[in-house]
Amino acid sequence: MSTKVLVVDDDPLVRSALRLMLGGQDDLEVVGEAVDGQDGLQRAAELLPDVVLMDIRMPRLNGIEATRILLERPAPPRVIVLTTFDADDHVLEALAVGADGFLLKDTPPGDIVAAIHKVADGDPMLSPSVTRTLIDRVRHDGGDDRSQAAERRLAALTERERDVAMAIGRGLANAEIAASLYLSVPTVKAHVSRVFDKLGVTNRVQIAICVHDAGLVD
């Protein structure tokens, strides 16, 4: 079964390029386009996509607010936020409302396709440069106090949970963590859930920031 994708962007050239790129994939189907966040909410309700590619800066309703509203609906789609610059201040806001992935618009086509597949399978996906920017921005705001606080939080994890947290900090998806730690994917998901609970976080980037703050991942 093909993964259904909705493209939400106010730039017709971007929409056209994404449709052309994704249209050549046998297991992806672009079911529609939307010109802004308000249009995207309506189209998502009509088309029921599996994944939404959501621009951030749009008229009428921006991608942050549209994502927040969309993810409050029953059985929402996965959302990958598209950014023009890896230093976009709104990326942190998108993270806070629950976006599943972040990609730069100039990401290579193959990586965009791979990201859609990962997110559709339940694995959050972030552009490495966006992740690095997020981590750097947060880390530069706390110094030694953040490092010590991160170490105290991670002390609550078991050894295996700590291994999983470090793997998340390196940007690995669940299947990759399972392969590297010789675990099953369901076992990894169980460990990830416990790490979320013990660290008091709501997404994988917050775990990555914590392990980076503690100096466990370069």
CATH of the domain at 36: 3.40.50.2300
Task: Please tell me the predicted confidence (pLDDT) of residue 137.
Answer: 59
Structural domain range at position 191 = 143-213
Instruction: Count the domains in the chain.
Output: 2
Q: Are residues 114 and 167 in the same domain?
A: no
Q: Are residues 152 and 206 in the same domain?
A: yes
Q: Hey, how many other C-beta atoms are within 10 angstroms of the C-beta on 151?
A: 14
Which of 104, 134, 164 is the last residue before a domain boundary?
134
Task: Please tell me the predicted confidence (pLDDT) of residue 188.
Answer: 93
Phi and psi at 88, nearest 5°, equal -60, 120
More confident residue, 206 or 36: 36
More confident residue, 22 or 127: 22
Q: Are residues 64 and 93 in the same domain?
A: yes
Average of pLDDT values for 150-174? 89
Q: Are residues 69 and 114 in the same domain?
A: yes
Please state, rounded to an integer, the average pLDDT across all residues of the chain: 85
> Is residue 203 in some structural domain?
yes
Question: pTM for the complete prediction?
Answer: 0.71
Cα–Cα distance list, 25 to 21, 47, 72, 189 (Å)? 8, 19, 30, 28
Is residue 105 within a helix (H) or strand (E), and if so which, with residue range? none
> Is residue 68 in some structural domain?
yes
Q: Of 32, 30, 40, 41, nearest to 2 (Cα)? A: 30
Task: Please tell me the predicted confidence (pLDDT) of residue 143.
Answer: 54
Q: Are residues 34 and 108 in the same domain?
A: yes
Handedness of CA 202, 199, 174, 167 (dihedral sign): positive
Q: Are residues 70 and 170 in the same domain?
A: no
Q: Minimum mean pLDDT among 5-14, 55-64, 106-115, 199-208: which range?
A: 199-208
Task: Please tell me the predicted confidence (pLDDT) of residue 139.
Answer: 54
SS (H, E, C) 57-72: CCCCCCHHHHHHHHHC
Q: Are residues 91 and 177 in the same domain?
A: no
Q: What percent of the chain has pLDDT over 70?
A: 87
CA contacts within 13 A on the Cβ side of 76: 20
- Tokens 């979320």: give the residue: 196
How do residues 49-94 score in pLDDT, each as one tens digit? Answer: 999 999 988 988 999 999 999 988 998 999 998 887 655 567 767 7
Task: Please tell me the predicted confidence (pLDDT) of residue 48.
Answer: 95
How do residues 113-143 score in pLDDT, each as one tens digit? Answer: 988 998 888 777 766 666 666 656 555 555 5
DSSP string, 21-66: HHHT-TTEEEEEEESSHHHHHHHHHHH--SEEEEESS-SSS-HHHH
